[in-house]
Amino acid sequence: MSKIEMKTPLVEMDGDEMTRIIWQILKDELIYPFIDLKSEYYDLGLKHRDETNDQVTIDASNATKKYGVAVKCATITPNAARVKEYNLKKMYKSPNGTIRAILDGTVFRTPIQVKGITPTVRTWKKPLTIARHAYGDVYRNVEMQIDRPGKVTMTFTPDDGSEKKTVTVFDFKGPGIVQAQHNIDASITSFARSCFEYALSEKKDLWFASKDTISKQYDHRFKDIFNDMYEAEYKESFKKEGIEYFYTLIDDAVARVMKSEGGFIWACKNYDGDVMSDMISSAFGSLAMMTSVLVSPEGYYEYEAAHGTVQRHYYKHLDGEETSTNSVATIFAWTGALRKRGELDRIPALMDFADALEKSTLGTIESGKMTKDLALITNIKDPIVLNTREFIVEVRKNLEKKLA
């Protein structure tokens, strides 16, 4: 069998711990035998980030802007313990934060659904994608405790010296608390654009919700920015693809989501996304079965698993113990990136390969062969628990059959 040829390179960001182990097995078993892989490799493993003073993360992000598609392994975000463990020069920022700041993107998380792992919500037949706006609101608030009677006001002082504007927040008669939040049009606009672009790319409906009836200026601004962009730039193409943009109040959205079949993209304000993404991932089964893609408003894509480096398993691995770590989300990060590369470069064989690899992965689980985390929650009778490598090897066997 001849290997699939690529045109443009894929940006490959290697990572840490157990997922770094998986990364290598996955490439050896599921990529190299089938694809003449063209990738520009960046080692985001913590040791190399430290050696390059984290320049490698910046270089990898810029390469993603150049080539348009990246696939990333999970990486350690250093804390005090990691600084000691790796003898780091400093406590580097989260690589994902650095990448997101450079690409100005939005993260879309989608559960991977498979027969035998039933979502807690009975009606959910198709995966539900959550997009979280990752700037501002309560995450950039300022707050104050009020310990005696007094008035709190909010004042805007224009840089150009024009007249100040002041509103009274509250006239306190006793102790209390106060908080101010902000957001910026540019950030909301780029969030909206990423959502519309991703909905078109995935050919899925897009929902957005806020509380504009109560928050007549703040939340209403979000609603207006989404609506104006939709009307001016996306209405026609959505119609052509047969997809819909739907706005509703956040509480109505929650009620509808619980009764829906899934299968759409739910764009959430920062706090809503924080809360709802945890609800969705646990209701669909497991964090190990959740993919994540960062989509920039310019249309750059960075694919990864939603979970971390699975540190606990890595230490078992280092101690020579057997591990049964789930590689599905990492496999789907690769298929997402390969499919997108194939789509952009018009290589149908690459897109077909991505489909075949996903089907082989799910087929392996559906045949009762899975890692321990899934064996604990599946309703398949007497599942066969495979170790980390065995699972990937089993997927390869299925894939070879499919491609033969």
Q: Is 373 in the site for ligand NAP (CB under 6 A)?
A: yes
Provide the Cα torsion 30, 35, 36, 41; round to 10°. -50
110 is written with which tokens? 């989608």
| Cβ atoms within 10 Å of 371's Cβ, excluding its own | 24
Q: Which of 307, 339, 340, 369 binds ligand NAP (CB under 6 A)?
A: 307
Shortest Cβ distance from residue 308 to Mg ion (Å)?
Answer: 13
Pick 71 or 276: Cβ nearer Mg ion: 276
Q: Which of 260, 281, 325, 364 binds ligand NAP (CB under 6 A)?
A: 325
Task: Return the ∠ at Cα 353 (arms to 74 and 305), rounded to 5°.
Answer: 15
**C-alpha dihedral sign at 218, 220, 223, 224:** negative
Which residue's Cβ has the minimum distance to ligand NAP? 308
Q: In whole angstroms, what separates CA 370 from the centre of its chain?
A: 24
Q: Which of 310, 331, 350, 392 binds ligand NAP (CB under 6 A)?
A: 310
> Is 159 exposed, middle or buried, given 0-12, 13-18 or 19+ CB atoms closer than 10 A?
exposed
Rounded Cα–Cα distance for residues 255 and 278 (Å): 17
Q: Which residues contact 9 (CB under 8 A, 6 or more apart)?
A: 38, 39, 40, 67
- 189-209 burial, b at 16+ Cβ within 10 Å, e below that, comes to ebbbbbbbbbbbbbebbbbbb
**Stretch (H or E) spanning 154:** strand 150-156
Stretch that binds ligand NAP, among 25-33, 34-42, 117-125, 309-317 (CB under 6 A): 309-317
Q: Is 210 in the site for ligand NAP (CB under 6 A)?
A: no
Q: Is 74 in the site for ligand NAP (CB under 6 A)?
A: yes
325 binds, among Mg ion, ligand NAP, none (CB under 5 to 8 A by kind): ligand NAP
Q: Are 345 and 8 in contact (CB under 8 A)?
A: yes
Q: In whole angstroms, what separates CA 80 from the centre of its chain?
A: 26
Which residue's Cβ has the minimum distance to Mg ion? 274
Q: Which of 7, 312, 397, 401 binds ligand NAP (CB under 6 A)?
A: 312
309 is written with which tokens? 């480096």
274 binds, among Mg ion, ligand NAP, none (CB under 5 to 8 A by kind): Mg ion
| Strand boundaries in 269-357, DSSP class E | 290-295, 301-305
Q: Is 52 in the site for ligand NAP (CB under 6 A)?
A: no
Q: Which of 40, 59, 241, 274 binds Mg ion (CB under 5 A)?
A: 274
Task: Give the number of residues in contact with ligand NAP, rule: CB under 6 A.
Answer: 17
Q: Is 76 in the site for ligand NAP (CB under 6 A)?
A: yes
276 is written with which tokens? 């709802």
75 binds, among Mg ion, ligand NAP, none (CB under 5 to 8 A by kind): ligand NAP
Shortest Cβ distance from residue 277 to Mg ion (Å)?
Answer: 6
Q: Is 288 in the site for ligand NAP (CB under 6 A)?
A: yes
Shortest Cβ distance from residue 42 to ligand NAP (Å)?
Answer: 14
Stretch that binds ligand NAP, among 145-153, 196-204, 308-316, 396-404 (CB under 6 A): 308-316
57 binds, among ligand NAP, Mg ion, none (CB under 5 to 8 A by kind): none
Binding site for ligand NAP (CB under 6 A): 74-77, 96, 287-288, 304, 307-312, 325-326, 373
Binding site for Mg ion (CB under 5 A): 274, 278
